[in-house]
Amino acid sequence: MYNYFEKITKLIYSEWKGMRQIKTQKHPNEEDLVCFIEGKLSSADKLFMEKHLVNCDVCAEYVGVHLAMHTGLTVNLPDKLLGKIRKLVIGENEAGFFEILLKLKEKAIEIIQTSGDVLVGQELIPAPILRSRQIRDFKEEITILKDFQKIRVEIKLKNNNAKTFNLEVSIKDKESQKLLRDLRIALLRDKLELESYASDEATVIFKDIYPGIYTVEVTTIEGKAAIVAITVKV
């Protein structure tokens, strides 16, 4: 009986000690975090960093803020870590957030990163499958979709010879797939509103937009419904 309790005590102590080491472990320095963000770490160091970031809000928030400030950077993050970073940086209330990162070529559009699904012809390709297939190049026009609690957001981008692009935004009822009209769609850059449309506009088109970092905000009568972060570069 004594040996049994002794083993249990040692096991509990060992687990406690392990948890304590995790909580008190040193944070990576700023240089290591930047190397992780820029994809300069080895596979082993990258895996170690990802495990640390999942358990450390301080470092995860640093990475998230850095990525938000330098949207052109692309980091392939596990879904669990990506979700955590979004919550830390964007906030719990912004459930309608998704991002699109594109590159314009002369006669094609390259998808670098998106958290939405992509419509290719009649085929809807979910974002995880898109990444696994490493599908990147498309023709001059693509459509990206994202479903939220009550609505579906459709973002259509048309390449204008790699100089400008047109951005078409449609909002549909998630269940009936009917276009919604009582809403407001605004295009922002550097937190400044460039254009906005409201009332009876079911589909909004922003024409001749230059490559850059933009935000599309969709507001219904119930409040803010979706935020789309769009980064387009040549």
CATH 2.60.40 placement within the chain: 97-233
Under 8 Å between Cβ of 229 and 98: yes
For domain 97-233, give the fold.
Immunoglobulin-like (2.60.40)
Q: Tokens 């993050």 identify what position?
A: 77
Percent above pLDDT 70 for the chain: 74
Report the 3 state secondary structure along 49-73. Answer: HHHHHHHCHHHHHHHHHHHHHCCCC
Does the reported pTM lie above 0.85? Answer: no
pLDDT tens by residue, 62-106: 787 676 655 455 567 777 787 777 766 655 445 577 888 888 988
Higher pLDDT, 21 or 222: 222
Which strands, in side-by-side order, build the sheet including 192-197? 137-138, 109-114, 97-104, 223-233, 212-220, 183-189, 192-197
Q: Which of left, alpha, beta for 13 (phi over 0: left; psi -120 to 50: alpha)?
A: alpha
With H, G, I as helix, E, B as strand and everything else as coil, classify residue 222: coil
Q: Is the pLDDT of residue 17 over 50?
A: no
pLDDT at 13: 47
Per-residue model confidence as pLDDT tens digits over 29-54: 888 888 888 888 888 888 888 889 88
User: What is the C-alpha R_g of the chain?
Assistant: 22
- The whole-number average pLDDT for the span 122-147 is 75
Average pLDDT, integer, range 161-167: 91
Does pLDDT of 16 surpass 50? Answer: no
- Sorting pLDDT into bands at 50, 70 and 90, what band is 159? very high
Q: What are phi and psi of 196, to 5 degrees?
A: -155, 150
Mean pLDDT lowest for which of 6-15, 38-47, 160-169, 187-196? 6-15
